[in-house]
Amino acid sequence: MTTDKPYRPNVGIALFNADGRVLIGHRFKGDGPEIILPGLDWQMPQGGVDEGENLRDAAMRELWEETNVVSADYLGETDWFTYEFPPYEGPQTHRLAKFRGQRQKWFALRFTGKDDEIDPLTPRNGQPAEFDAWRWEHLDRVADLVVPFRREVYRAVAREFAHLAS
């Protein structure tokens, strides 16, 4: 672990449907070094915060960029969580080389649209698609589907938002 690198500011989104399940996306197989074990390539939408950007606005932008969803109401948010990236020896332009990990604030949102609004494959806002599939999942099961270095944060998010889940 390199402690002289900063944490990357980040937002995560727990998008709940009417049944209390959250939206998760399946990351592309070739989506870089963050996928380190087969079968652990699902996650909730998340992404970086632009300099000076309001965090709630960043959450809505990231949700739209990654899923096309705009039909969502704010339910709540967590305090800040951090996690460390795994060791990385690749190109120094990659975020894993620039940052020691991520500092995240998670937002709970209620999906108010229809499932056909969800489209993770179409690139938006100049950003490439990150997910090739999506599904609704029980919040308390998501930590078992993500890469190990994100697992503790996902468990904390599940505890924080348990009252919204079913």
**Model pLDDT, residue 112:** 98
Report the pLDDT value the prediction gives residue 33, as an integer from 0 to 100: 60
Tell me how long the chain is: 166
pLDDT at 127: 85
Burial group, residue 46, by CB count within 10 angstroms (0-12, 13-18, 19+): buried
Task: List the beta strands (DSSP E) in 17-165.
Answer: 22-27, 42-43, 46-48, 72-84, 101-111, 131-137
Can you list the residues of the chain whose pLDDT is less than 70? 1-2, 29-36
